[in-house]
Structure 1
Amino acid sequence: MSALALVFATLAFLLSLTVARRTKQILEAAESPSHPIPVTPIGKKFPDVAPLIGSRGDIAPLGGAMSESVALGIFSAGCVSCAEELPLFKEIISGNHVRRDRVVAIVVGEGSVADDFERSLEEVCVVVRQEVEGPVLDPLGIRNFPAFGVVAETGRIRSWGNGAVSLKKVMDEFARRPEDV
């Protein structure tokens, strides 16, 4: 009988270890950064959209005949990472002395947080308000925020990603001359 008790105790111990290991995996997955956005392939043509009107009435320099590459930042009012990355986005744009008319920010959402994002971003870029199903985000398949990219003079996406690491990579790509790409 003691051998049978030992077998059951061993099985219970192994089951407990398995449950603990699986619980740890689940918790680690929940705490890890969000999965990357469905990546828009580099080289894909930016959606052909009617002129996007910025919050100050200016036209966003995307689509149509573009004379220069454009940096793009996409933020959602309901996104904690967006609130964290927004100051870094502004700092990088300002620190690199990028003209306001070469940077577009798309703000997703309504309410006071979206209004605050818009006011803050207007200092350094053309701000366009749009919903996820809008003419830019829907064709690109963007569902995770923040997202950053560079649209080349040709209208093709030259660089793309999300999060602080991608922002720095994207801005390094933005600083490169078109002939270097």
Structure 2
Amino acid sequence: MPLLTVAVVLVAALGLLNLVLLLGVIRRLREHTDLLSERQSAPPEVMLEVGSIPGDFVSTTVDGRLRTRADLPPMTLVAFISPGCDHCEEQLPLLRERAAEMPGGAEHVWVVVVGKGPETQTYADLFTGLATVFVEPGSGPLPTAFAIKGFPAFGLLDERGIVKSTAFGIARLDLPVAR
């Protein structure tokens, strides 16, 4: 009988130890989940930080007009896309839709197609009449002025030309709606 009592106490102690270890693992998993959630909720930095002013630039649109930072109209949507970028390709229909809805029309939407070759012209043609379109290399004046870190990159400039919001996806921008 004493042997049975010792065995029961030993099994109970082992069960309690298992429970304590399991609770510790659960606590660590919750901490890990919280850390991952915080990391995923922070949007990736794709361009200048909110509150920044784009650097000076001089660039030419696809229709030959010279543009500088002073030419940025108030409340401008800027989009940087690159051919061969799968996520850019996914964003094209919604970007076209938002460009068509943007108050102020094509002057208030600047689309910069970043890259070289005939694919850039295909992308540029998609926005003819909807936006002011530029085609530049990755080291061009506009990607440099906006400190582009990846593609696609979308931003909204406020009335003073200050970056109001940025996003990796056009749907995440708080865009004004044409009335």
- With structure 2 as the length reference, what TM-score do the two structures score? 0.66
Residue ranges of structure 2 left out of the alignment (5+ in a row): 1-39
Alignment of 1:3-152 (within 5 A): 36-50=44-58, 52-60=59-67, 63-64=69-70, 66-96=72-102, 98-152=104-158
Q: CA RMSD in A?
A: 2.5
- Following TM superposition, by how much is the alpha carbon of 1:128 offset from its aligned partner in structure 2, in angstroms? 0.7
Cα deviations across residues 5-27 of structure 1 (Å, max 9, x unaligned)?
Answer: xxxxxxxxxxxxxxxxxxxxxxx
Identical aligned residues as a percent: 23
Q: Scaled by the length of structure 1, what TM-score is found?
A: 0.66
Listed as ranges, the gaps of 5+ residues in structure 1 are 1-31, 177-181
Superposed CA offset, 1:4-61 (max 9, x none)? xxxxxxxxxxxxxxxxxxxxxxxxxxxx9xx8244521111111112x221012344x
Deviations 1:121-151 (A, max 9, x none): 1231011111221222134332311110012
Aligned partners of 2:75 and 2:156 also within 8 Å = yes
What's the CA shift for 1:65?
5.8
* Aligned mates of 1:112, 1:65 — CA distance in 2: 28
| Bigger CA radius of gyration | 2
Partner deviation per Cα, 1:48-100 (whole Å, 9 max, x = no partner): 112x221012344x612655221101101121111121121001221456501
Secondary structure of residue in 1 paired with 2:140: coil
Quick one: which amino acid aligns to residue 106 of structure 2?
Answer: R
Mapped to 2, the partners of 1:120 and 1:67 lie a distance apart of 22
CA distance in 2, matches of 1:133, 1:41: 19
Distance 2:62 2:47 in 1: 27
Match of 1:168 in 2: 171
CA contact (8 A) 1:66 1:154 kept: no
Query: Is the partner of 1:94 in helix, strand or coil?
Result: helix
- In structure 2, relative to structure 1, the CA distance for the partners of 1:39 and 1:117 (3 Å cut) is closer
Query: Quick one: distance in 1 between partners of 2:69 and 2:145?
Result: 14
